[in-house]
Every structure is written in structure tokens, then in C-alpha cells.
């Protein structure tokens, strides 16, 4: 194991020990423990957000790893002009092989603090943090929490593990008050840690962004934002940069907040500060903006989505679209996921076929481009599906809007949609592969103008800006699309009538959308987007 260098910062030493440890372990071991090291600049950035002060401070790191965040937090406190007299650190780590390196790092930290005039006591707990606090998880769903839930820490700071746990996992059963289904373990760390904070204590985590939206985390958001008032959120523009040395492709954010149980009932209107950088290297040059709490987090809504605009146009998109009266349901529409799962339908799908006698087209994501469907492509994927044997998997040949279910954040647009016009396909039914979503009218059909107008909206820069504020996932969720505001029906029809006659519908599409949806007294928004 590496030994400390003379005068070395404890955080830097912890980083070297962590890198050494990860190098000695297999990828399987690292993934099983969700072990992804916090880069030193990110650890320092997080430590700088600690607001707690006083003569004695208690700090919790529920997933200490090699101790990088522990060290950064305590270094930041000890470096203050008015440093605490005593600091107590509780560090949990479930990876038994990592306990000895962690103790060595924290021993060095204690000695470093003593040399800098501060007293630090350290307790390392070699246990599963979630199961050790299962009672706290259960209490989060109760009207009157037990005394064991009373906060004990002034600061909790963490880079928790990220992986899904099965429904039968004891941790998932213990967390039923917070999450459902197959939850990601990091949400359990966040919920427990928030409950263990004292009132006005600091909550500082680096996590995936996925908890901010989507139905899987709806219950978690209700519980979490019931006790934590978010104060600062930092987004990384690149999905690769935050944990690049661990080759993690994940959109991460840094969440800072204050334990304040009654902040909503007390009418706290303090704005949320949203900052962003491309990655780790430019953290010191982050852009910041203040967002009204009601704009960022509408806790009166069913979904309780945390919306994070990082640019002016995203804030403008929220302001404009929040004024719209419709969504898919109010327009009498619904959105469904393509029912054809290829590995389950292998006996029905084929490379060649007789259309429409025995087969109908099977549309995949690759067939859908912005405002255009191309079939067949003569690709390696089977593009035909049997009419009779697979009839329960097929949709009637009606007008739809098709949307890709997955996108890359780095793509110019997160949403890719195309109108499916029934008369262009001389078939009785049509097959939609599972990586497509399709908008439809239950018991009826969209008009051509509706299909063209909605597809134009989904492909627009305006709706893309809105979508980026609510979702950091690569998956385009049907839940998020159902919640997306839409303009008056007459506006959609007029837009469709205009777009469908263009030889290249994507050319000048954004200008056409803005002209169609922006009221006369809001023309300055359209001008700003030209």
C-alpha cells in the first residue's frame, strides 16, 4: 500500500490509496461494491459547500471507500480561520478488504489535523450501512418517526454506490417506504443519510441524476424533499468526465441541501442555485444561476420532478411551456411502448417477408429519423413480423407519432420523433419494436395534422430544452412525455398543416414552432432563440 509523502494532503493520499486498491481488484469486484473513486477536485468542491460550524461537529460518510470525501471535508473545516475544537467522524464501509487501507488513510488524517491544531476522532464501521439503519428506513414511512431517527450528524457527505438491487433483497424490503420495484442502492443511502442529519445539518452527495424524475423515484422524492431543502445542484455537461478514470457513463450531479423538516409548510422561498461545468477540470469556472424554488420543484404535483435549467433558453422554455393548457391526456391521447420484444418474439420476426399477405413491417429505432420514417433499410435486423401468429403484438394501421426511447445526451436533440401516416403503409397492422414509444388516440386515430404537429413539437429545440431540464437519463420515459405540457389543440393542428407540406420538414422547423406557439406579447423569446 502507498505510504504518505512528506507534507501530502490527506485527500491526495486517500486518492492514491484508492487508485492502488482499485487497480488490485477485478472489474467484477468493483461493480459489485459500486466502487467509483471521487476525483479530488470534486471532493474539494463538495467540501467547500459545508456550512455547519461550531466547536464540536459530527460528520458521517456512509460509503467511505478510500476516504477521499472524509478527508476533503475535514481538511476544509480545519483550514477555516475559526476551526472546530473537535471533529467526530463516522465512516461506514462494507468492502472488508478496504477497511485496512481506509483506517491507514484516516490515521494519517488524524495526525495531519493534530499538526494543524485540530482534534479529530475517527470511528470506522465495517458494516452494510443500509441494513445497519433499516429501522430508520422503515420509520421514514411513519407519521410519527421513532426516536432512533432523530438526527445525530451536522454533516453527511458521500459518493454512494450505484447499482440496482432486486425486489427480494433485504435492503429493498426495508426500503419499501422510500422506493418500490428494483431500486438503485444510492437512493437508500440518500434517504437514510438525510434522516440521520440534525436540523439545519448539511447534506452533500454526488449521485446519478436519475432520482430527479421518473415514476421509480416518485416515492423517494416525496420522502427526501420532505426533510431536505435543496440549496445547490451542480450538473456535469459530459456524461463521461465526472468518473472518467473508472470509465463510468453516467450523468452525475452534486446535490447540496439542508435538513429542514417543515421547510415547505413554512413557505421557504429561497431560490435554488443551479451550477454547471463540462466536467471536473472546469469546476472552478462553473456557471451559476438562481432558479425560483417553485419553478425547480413543484411538490404539489403528482410526479414531484426536480427541474434543473442551466441555460437561459431552458429557463425560458420552462416559463413558456408552464403556461400551456394541455398534455397528452387532456388531448385525449396516450403514449405506449412498442410491444415487440425481439428475443421473446424470435419465432415471429424474419429478415424477409410477403407484405401484406403474410407479414407486416416491424419498425425499430433505426427506422425513425427526425420527421421521417424509412422502411425497409435492408439492415441486419429482421424488419418483418408475421401477421397472424403475432397479431396480439401488432397495432392497428392508424396514424401515430413514433419516438425513440433512447438517446445520447451528447446528441443535438434528446427527442427524435416522426409522424407515422397510415395511408403510406398498405397493411392492416404494424409492428413497433420495444425501443420505440408511440403516441396514439385510444379507440380512435390521430388526424394527419395532429401527427405532423406533435412530431414537429417533439423534434423542436423548445421541447428539447424543456426535456433537458427534467431528465438526465438516456431513456426517453413515457412518464415524462405524459407530463410534458403541450400548446392548445388549434396550435398543434396549424403547425401540422404548415409542416406536412414542406419538402424538408426539419429545415426551419424551430422557427416555425416558435412562431406558432409564442404569443404576440412574448415575441422577444422567439427573437432570442433565432
Tally the C-alpha atoms within 13 A of residue 183's C-alpha that lie toward its C-beta.
Answer: 28
CATH code at position 453: 3.90.220
Buried b (16+ CB within 10 A) or exposed e, 21-39: bbeeeeeeebeebbbbbbb
Q: Is 453 inside a domain boundary?
A: yes
* DSSP H or E segment with residue 137: helix 134-139
Tell me the C-alpha distance between 83 and 55, whole Å: 8
Residue 381 located in a structural domain? yes
Asked if the structure places residue 487 within a domain, the reply is yes
pTM: 0.87
The pLDDT of residue 249 is 45
d(CA 245, CA 413): 27
**What sections of 228-374 are H helices per DSSP?**
293-296, 312-321
What CA–CA distance (Å, rounded) separates 316 from 330?
23
Looking at residue 409, its pLDDT comes to 54
Q: How far is CA 147 from CA 130, 136, 144, in A?
A: 18, 9, 9
Helix (H) or strand (E) holding 60: strand 56-61
Helix (H, G, I), strand (E, B) or coil at 473: coil
Q: For residue 20, what are the CA distances in angstroms to 101, 189, 286?
A: 10, 26, 30
Q: What is the mean pLDDT of each run of 10 residues along the chain (530 residues)?
A: 95 96 85 82 96 95 96 96 94 95 97 94 94 79 48 93 84 76 84 93 95 86 91 82 51 93 74 91 88 85 87 92 94 97 95 95 96 93 95 97 81 89 96 97 97 97 93 79 94 96 93 84 48
Q: Is residue 358 part of a domain?
A: yes
How many domains, the chain?
1
Residue 509 falls inside a structural domain: yes
Residue 354 included in any domain: yes
* Residue 411 forms part of a structural domain: yes
Whether residue 97 contacts residue 1, with contact meaning beta carbons closer than 8 Å, is answered with no
Q: Which helix (H) or strand (E) holds 187?
A: helix 185-195
CA–CA separation, 259 and 51 (whole Å): 12
Residue 502 lies in a domain: yes
Rounded Cα–Cα distance for residues 233 and 220 (Å): 18
Locate all alpha helices (DSSP H) within 355-506, ordered by sequence: 448-459, 461-470, 478-483, 489-499
- Residue 148: per-residue pLDDT: 45
- pLDDT at position 520 is 43
The cell 438516456 sits on which residue?
474
Strand boundaries in 292-358, DSSP class E: 334-337, 349-350
pLDDT at 169: 83
Range of the domain at 353: 334-528
Return the half-sphere exposure (C-beta side, CA atoms, 13 A cut-off) of residue 180.
Answer: 10
Cβ burial of 324 (10 Å; 0-12, 13-18, 19+) is: middle
- The Cα–Cα gap between 386 and 357 comes to 9
DSSP track, 122-163: EEEE-S-HHHHTHHHHHHTTSSS--GGGS--EEEEEE-----
Pairing verdict, β 287-291 and 334-337: unpaired
pLDDT for the residue 149? 45
- How far apart are alpha carbons 290 and 455 in whole angstroms? 32
Partner residues linked to 122 by β-bridges: 89
Amino acid at each position: 500500500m502507498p505510504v504518505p509523502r512528506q507534507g501530502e494532503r490527506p485527500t491526495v493520499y486517500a486518492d492514491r490509496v484508492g487508485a492502488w486498491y482499485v487497480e488490485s481488484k477485478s472489474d467484477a469486484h468493483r461493480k459489485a461494491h459500486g466502487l467509483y473513486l471521487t476525483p479530488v477536485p470534486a471532493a474539494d468542491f463538495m467540501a467547500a459547500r459545508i456550512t455547519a460550524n461550531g466547536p464540536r461537529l459530527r460528520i458521517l460518510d456512509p460509503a467511505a471507500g478510500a476516504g477521499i470525501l472524509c478527508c476533503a471535508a475535514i481538511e476544509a473545516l480545519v483550514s477555516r480561520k475559526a476551526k472546530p475544537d473537535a471533529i467526530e467522524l463516522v465512516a461506514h464501509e462494507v468492502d472488508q478488504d478496504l477497511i485496512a487501507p481506509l483506517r491507514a488513510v484516516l490515521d494519517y488524517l488524524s495526525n495531519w489535523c493534530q499538526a494543524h491544531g485540530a482534534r479529530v476522532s475517527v470511528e470506522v464501521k465495517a458494516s452494510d450501512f443500509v441494513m445497519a439503519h433499516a429501522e430508520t428506513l422503515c420509520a421514514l414511512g411513519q407519521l410519527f418517526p421513532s426516536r432512533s431517527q432523530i438526527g445525530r450528524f451536522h454533516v453527511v457527505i458521500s459518493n454512494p454506490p450505484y447499482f440496482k438491487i432486486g425486489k427480494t433483497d433485504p435492503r429493498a424490503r426495508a426500503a419499501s417506504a422510500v422506493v418500490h420495484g428494483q431500486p438503485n442502492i444510492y437512493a437508500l443511502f440518500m434517504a437514510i443519510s438525510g434522516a440521520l442529519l440534525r436540523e439545519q445539518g448539511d447534506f452533500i452527495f454526488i449521485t446519478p441524476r436519475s432520482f430527479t424524475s421518473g415514476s421509480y423515484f416518485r416515492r423517494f422524492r416525496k420522502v427526501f424533499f420532505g426533510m431536505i431543502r435543496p440549496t445547490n445542484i451542480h450538473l456535469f455537461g459530459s456524461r463521461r468526465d465526472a468518473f472518467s478514470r473508472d470509465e463510468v457513463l453516467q450523468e452525475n450531479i452534486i446535490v447540496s441541501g439542508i435538513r429542514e423538516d417543515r421547510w415547505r409548510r413554512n413557505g421557504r422561498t429561497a431560490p435554488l442555485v443551479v451550477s454547471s461545468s463540462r466536467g471536473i477540470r472546469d469546476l472552478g469556472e462553473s456557471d451559476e444561476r438562481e432558479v425560483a424554488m417553485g419553478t425547480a420543484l413543484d411538490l404539489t404535483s403528482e410526479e414531484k420532478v426536480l427541474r434543473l435549467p442551466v441555460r437561459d433558453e431552458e429557463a425560458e422554455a420552462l416559463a413558456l411551456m408552464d403556461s400551456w393548457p394541455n398534455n397528452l391526456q387532456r388531448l385525449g391521447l396516450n403514449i405506449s411502448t412498442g410491444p415487440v420484444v425481439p428475443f421473446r418474439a424470435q419465432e415471429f420476426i424474419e429478415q424477409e417477408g410477403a407484405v401484406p399477405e403474410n407479414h407486416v413491417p416491424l419498425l425499430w429505432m433505426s427506422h425513425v429519423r427526425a420527421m421521417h420514417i424509412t422502411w425497409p433499410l435492408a439492415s441486419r435486423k429482421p424488419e418483418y413480423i408475421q401477421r397472424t401468429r403475432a397479431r396480439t403484438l401488432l397495432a392497428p394501421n392508424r396514424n401515430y407519432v413514433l419516438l425513440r426511447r433512447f438517446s445520447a445526451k451528447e446528441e443535438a436533440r434528446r427527442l427524435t420523433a416522426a409522424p407515422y401516416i397510415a395511408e403510406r403503409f398498405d397493411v392492416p397492422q404494424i409492428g413497433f419494436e420495444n425501443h420505440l414509444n408511440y403516441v396514439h388516440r385510444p379507440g380512435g386515430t390521430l388526424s394527419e395534422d395532429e401527427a405532423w404537429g406533435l412530431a414537429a413539437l417533439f423534434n423542436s429545440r423548445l421541447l428539447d430544452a424543456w426535456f433537458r431540464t427534467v431528465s438526465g437519463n438516456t431513456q426517453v420515459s413515457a412518464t415524462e412525455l405524459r407530463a410534458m405540457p403541450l400548446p392548445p389543440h388549434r396550435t398543434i393542428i396549424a403547425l401540422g398543416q404548415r409542416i406536412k407540406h414542406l419538402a424538408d420538414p426539419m429545415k426551419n422547423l424551430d422557427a416555425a414552432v416558435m412562431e406558432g406557439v409564442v404569443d404576440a406579447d412574448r415575441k422577444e423569446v422567439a427573437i432570442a432563440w433565432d
